[in-house]
Amino acid sequence: MKSSVQPFNTRQKMLEADYEVYRYRDSYLSEVELHHHDFFEIYFFISGQVQYTIESRQYDLKPGDILLISPLELHQPMICPGGENYERVVLWVSRGCLAALSGEGSDLSACFDLNSPRHTNLLRLDAVTVRRLQDMADALIEEGNRRYFGWELNTRALLTRILVELNRRMQESPASFEVPDESSGIIAGVLRYINENFNNDISLDSLSEQFFVSKYHLSRDFKRLVGTSVYRYIIQKRLIMAKQKMLAGMSPTMVYCNCGFGDYANFYRAFCHEYGISPKKFCEDAARRGIREENPK
């Protein structure tokens, strides 16, 4: 089965409560900015020439590759112009849907767990398994489009089967397919430090001293591997964590001092600029949609 192709939309926000799935094919696509989601993403790569960056990890994608991206991970595709059309299926799953589909002893979010020793963003599976997973993703699209009798039950079953398969494959200790880079170790350490100390005062100067590397080389390698500047990454990561805390019930007026912002005005401006809504409106929308993060990191 091959589902119909949909026009690409730069929207990075879910409109549905549970899941959304799209099949895209583009002959040309302008640069996609480094971004993150408030939901889980499963990305089936079909064709094209793409290098995908997730935090500091870079992957040269091959047809059939599957990427698993959690809400806390900043990511960005780099599409090479010319050649084959850039085709992929993108499946978004909300936190609430993933929790509802999970069973006792079967946490379907496990394949996205950043703390798991088996964790990887890229699964490169055998052709039969890839075809089966892509067929199920295409079937999800068709069920949602045609809405035959029992389509809600069928989409729930298909989504569950996809997630069970991915979690089983992740438990097999998959290989790592990251593009090697001599600077990746230092940058990975810098990212870990920022993620563990986002609520403290962090600057390029302090990171340079902490990791015994010049500001010039740190800035250059960080931009090359992560896709953005050190300053921009720190702001984005603080905003991500602020969203997690607000989803857990913390008020916007309390969040800023827990996430490294000097004052509420700075936090408010940064949040509105990044997401196009105020922190208060974000909380109201999350409450209306019943979105809640039980265990923010």
pLDDT score for 293: 54
Q: What is the CATH topology of the domain spanning 19-170?
A: Jelly Rolls (2.60.120)
Percent pLDDT > 70 in the chain is 95
pLDDT confidence bin for 178, thresholds 50/70/90: confident
Model confidence over 43-77: pLDDT tens digits? Answer: 999 999 999 999 988 899 999 999 999 998 999 99
- Taking residues 3-28, report their average pLDDT: 85
66-69 and 122-123 beta bridge pairing:
antiparallel
Q: Which of 79-88, 90-99, 106-115, 139-148 has the lowest mean pLDDT?
A: 79-88
Structural contact between residues 20 and 12, judged by C-beta atoms closer than 8 angstroms: no
pLDDT confidence bin for 286, thresholds 50/70/90: confident
Q: How far is CA 265 from CA 126, 257, 278, in A?
A: 51, 11, 11
Residues 6+ apart with CB under 8 A from 92: 14, 19, 20, 21, 37, 39, 40, 41, 42
CATH tag for 184-289 (out of 1.20.140.10, 1.10.10.60, 2.60.120.960, 3.40.50.300): 1.10.10.60
Taking 50 as the threshold, does the pLDDT of residue 78 lie above it?
yes
Taking 50 as the threshold, does the pLDDT of residue 297 lie above it?
no
Q: Which of 209-213, 268-272, 290-294 has the lowest mean pLDDT?
A: 290-294
Residues 6+ apart with CB under 8 A from 39: 14, 71, 92, 93, 94, 95
pLDDT confidence bin for 291, thresholds 50/70/90: low
Taking 90 as the threshold, does the pLDDT of residue 188 lie above it?
no
Taking the domains of the chain in order of start, what are their residue ranges? 19-170, 184-289
- Taking residues 175-203, report their average pLDDT: 84
Taking 50 as the threshold, does the pLDDT of residue 295 lie above it?
no
Strands of the sheet containing 19-26, edge to edge, are 19-26, 86-93, 40-47, 66-69, 122-123
Written as six digits, the tokens of 258 are 């827990």
d(CA 274, CA 269): 9
